[in-house]
A and B are shown apart, each in its own frame.
Chain A
C-alpha cells in the first residue's frame, strides 16, 4: 500500500515555544505528481517542509521514502535522499556566476582543481532538456529574479534530486514568468520528478497541481483531488470560512483633487534613461487610483520620490494644495501621508523591535507616546493592544512579540494598522498583498476600500492584475517610467491591460 508513495510524512508534530506549528500532520507524495501544499501564512507549511528538508527535527511522526523509514537530520541527508528545495528567498551567491552557483558544494575536481567543463556540459544538457534557459557565465546579481529561480531549479536537477520542493515560487515572479514556471513544473513531473508546491494561490493550484493537501493553524484538514474540487471549497478548507473573491464596493464618489503630481521626473541609477519620466496625475478624495505595470517599470522610484525617500530630478508634488516636493519624510508623514511599502522587511518594519515598538514607529515622537523625551511604555502597549484586537494581528506573545518571529500576513497587518491609524490624507499602498494568503488579501482589500469610502485618497501600486481590476476606481499603466494608459476598470479587460503593461499598446493620456 505504502509503496505507491515516494515520500510519506506521517503524524508529524513539531512545536515551538507557545505554538504547535505542526499537529500530527500527514502528507503523502506520489511519484510523478505535482502536489500542492495549501495554507494561510502561519498554517505550518514552511515548518513541515523544513522538517522534510532536515532543518527541524519533529517531536513525533515518521518520514518514509518509498516505504522505508528514513531519518533526515540535516539538509545533506535530504539531498542524499534526492530531496531538493527552492526556497522562497533564493540561496544564491550574488557575485558568483550561474554555473558556479549551480555546482557549489558538489564541484567536480581533479587533483584539487575544479573541472568546470564536465559541469558545464551537464548543466547545459539539463538546461536544454527542461527548457530552463540560463546563461552560465553571467553573475547572479545581473540576472532577473525569474532567471535566478531557474538557476535554483537547475541546482536541484544537477544534484539528481527526484523530489523537488518549491516554497511559494511565484511570489516574486511576473505573470509571464509564472506561466513559464508552471510549464516547467509540468515538464519536470512528466519526466518522473515528484513536486511539492507550497502556495496559497488557488489559480496556480488549479492550473498545475494534481492533488492538494490543506493545512490550517498547524492542523491537517485534508487532501483533495484538484480536478474535482472547486476553488471555493479549497479556500474554505484553508481559511475555515467562505471567502469572497470579488470586493463589494459602491462606485466611487471622487471629490476635490487631493494629491497631485506634476511632471515628476526621476533619474535612473543604472542608465541614462529616466526611471520616471514626466509623470503627472491626481488622486481625488474618495478614490482608489491604481498604478499598474510590470515590476521594474519605475514604480519603486516613483513611490520613493512621492514619499520623500528618494531623490527627484524635477516636478512638483502637492497634498491638499500644499506643495510637499521638498519636505522631509517626517514632515510628509505628519502632514498626512501614509505609506505601506513594497518591501516590508527592508522598509516597513524593524524586525528586531517588538510589535508594539513597530506600531509606534511613526508616532513615537508625538505627545501621545513621549513625555520629555521618555517613551510612555504604558500608552504604547495599550495602543498596541488596541490595534492588535482591531486588526486581528496574531502573534505568540502579543505586543511584546518580536516582529521577526511573526508570519508575513501578520507583519503586513501590523503595517496596515499603523499606517491607517495615522489617519492619512493620502494612503500610498505598494503591493500591499504581496505574498499573502487569500484571507489576508481579502482583509487588506476591504481595508483599502473602507479608507476610500471614508473619503481618503488611496494610491495603490500593484503588479497583480486581479487586484488592479478588483480594487481600483481608476487605473494608470506605467511602462518604462511613463504613463501609457488611463483606464476605468469597468471599461477595460485584463487582456487589454496586459497589452498596455507589456508596452505593446499605448494611449495618449490626457490629464
Chain B
C-alpha cells in the first residue's frame, strides 16, 4: 500500500495521469455536446469518436498517423518555446509558410533526383518557418515587443502571403488548389505501406501516411536531447526561467531568445513540409482565408504533453485520433459545425491537463487525510 501511494504521488505518474484524466473529461464534455445537439444519435456518435481511426481499419489508423505528423511538429514548436519561456502562438503562420516553401520546391525544382528533391523541399520548409519566427524573435529580444502580438501579426501575413504566392506560382485552377508536387518530392512510404492499407478485393487502398511520421518522431527525440542534455538547451532554458540571472552567468540572453524563436519556427515549418509533401492523395494548399488548424492545435498538443517532447508524440497521436473519429461523425446526422465544436471541446478541455497536474497530489493527500 505504501509503495502504491508512493507511485501515486510520483512525479511521472502524476504527469501522465493528469493528461489522461484531462482527456477523459474532454471526452465527457464532448459527449454532453453530442447529447445536446442530437440526443438520439449521441451514443452512436460517441462510439464513433472513441473508435477514432479504427472505424475504417488499417487505412484509418494510417490516416491518424498522417494527421499526427504535423501536430507532433507544431506541438514541439509550442512546447520548445514554452520550455524557453516564450509563447509561440505563431505556429499557423510558420506552418503555412513552411508548407508553401516545400510545395513550391516540390513542384518547380524537378531537376533534382528523388531523395535530394524531398530533402531540399523539407529544408526549405524548415528554413522558411525559422525565418518567419525570426522576426518576432528579434522584436522580442531587442525591442521587447511581446512575441504573442508579433506572432499573431505574422500569422496573418503568412497566411495571405502563402495564398498569394500559391495562386501566382503553383496553382491548379481546375482543382482550386496547389499543383501536385513531383513524384521525386513526395516523401517515401518508409515501409508503412505494408501496414496501413485496406484490401479492396486484391487492390491495396493505401493510407496517405509516409515516412514523415518517422521524421517527426526522430525530431521529437532530438529536441528532447537538446532541451535536457546539452549546454545549448541549458542556456535556452536558463533564459526562459530567468533572463537576469542568465546575463549574470554570461549567457547572451538576447541571442538565446532569438534562437529559441527560430528553432520553434523551424519545427512548425517542417511540420508544414511533412504534411504537404504527400502526393496526389495527400493534402494540397487551398487558397482560403483561414489560419492553419494544425498550427493552433500545436498549443493543446504541447499543453497535453506538458511540453515534454516524448509526451508531445503521444498527445499528438491522441488528438489526431479523436479528430479523425470526429470526422467520421458525418455518417450520422450531425451538422459539420457541430462536429467541429465537439472536436474543439475535447481538445481544449483536455488542454486543462496542467490544472489537473496541480490538483492531483492535493486530492490524493486530502483523501488520505480523511481516512485517518
Which chain A residues have a beta carbon within 8 Å of chain B's beta carbons? 307, 309, 328-333, 339, 341, 346-353, 357, 361-362, 364-365, 370, 373-375, 377
Contact = CB atoms under 8 A, between A and B. Distances in A.
B245 interface: yes
Nearest to A358: B245
B238 A353 contact: yes
Q: Count chain B CB atoms within 10 A of each CB in A309, A328, A365, A377 and give the residue with the most.
A: A365
A364 B231 contact: yes
A335 to B, nearest CB: 11
A344 B237 CA distance: 18
B241 A341 contact: no
Contacts of A357: 234
B229 A346 contact: no
B231 A374 contact: yes
Interface residues of B, number: 18
Contacts of A374: 229-231
Interface in B238-277: 238, 241-242, 244-252
B241 A351 contact: yes
Contact of B230 (A352, A362, A373): A373
B231 A375 contact: yes
Nearest to A57: B369
Interface-central residue, B242, B246, B247, B248, by most chain A CB under 10 Å: B248
Q: Which 6 residue pairs across A and B have the least CB separation, nearest first?
A: A330-B250, A329-B250, A347-B248, A361-B249, A352-B241, A350-B242
Nearest to A366: B231
Given A364-B231, A370-B231, A375-B234, A350 B247 contact: no
B164 interface: no
12 contacts: A328-B250, A330-B250, A346-B244, A348-B245, A348-B248, A350-B238, A350-B241, A350-B245, A352-B241, A362-B249, A362-B250, A374-B231
Given A347-B244, A348-B248, A357-B234, 11 more contacts: A309-B248, A328-B252, A329-B249, A332-B250, A333-B249, A347-B245, A350-B242, A350-B246, A351-B241, A353-B241, A375-B230
Interface of B: 229-232, 234, 237-238, 241-242, 244-252
A365 B231 CA distance: 7
Contacts of A328: 250, 252
Nearest to B85: A352
B245 A346 contact: yes
Nearest to B249: A361
Contacts of B237: 353
B112 to A, nearest CB: 32
Contacts of B241: 350-353
A374 B250 CA distance: 18
Contacts of A375: 229-231, 234
Nearest to A352: B241
A108 B246 CA distance: 46
Contact of B250 (A333, A347, A377): A333
A373 B248 contact: no
Nearest to A357: B234
A375 B230 CA distance: 5
Nearest to A360: B234
A14 to B, nearest CB: 13
Nearest to B372: A59
Given A373-B230, A375-B230, A349 B245 contact: yes
- Give the one of B232, B246, B250, B251 with max A CB within 10 A: B250
A329 B231 contact: no
Contacts of A348: 245, 248
B320 to A, nearest CB: 31
A341 B248 CA distance: 9
A361 B232 CA distance: 13
Nearest to A373: B230
A309 B229 CA distance: 28
A284 B310 CA distance: 54
Nearest to A329: B250
A339 B248 contact: yes
Contacts of B248: 307, 309, 329, 339, 341, 347-348
Interface centre among A330, A333, A350, A374 (most CB of B within 10 A): A350
Contacts of A307: 248
Nearest to A17: B9
A328 B253 CA distance: 12
Given A364-B231, A365-B231, A373-B231, A309 B247 contact: yes
A496 B203 CA distance: 99
B245 to A, nearest CB: 5
Contacts of A350: 238, 241-242, 245-246
B243 to A, nearest CB: 10
Nearest to B248: A347
Contacts of B230: 373-375
Contacts of B247: 309, 329, 347
Nearest to B225: A374
Contacts of B232: 373
A350 B248 CA distance: 11
A347 B242 CA distance: 8
A339 to B, nearest CB: 7
Contacts of A332: 250
Contacts of A349: 242, 245
Nearest to A370: B231
A34 B199 CA distance: 86
A462 B242 CA distance: 25
A309 B238 CA distance: 17
Contacts of A364: 231, 234
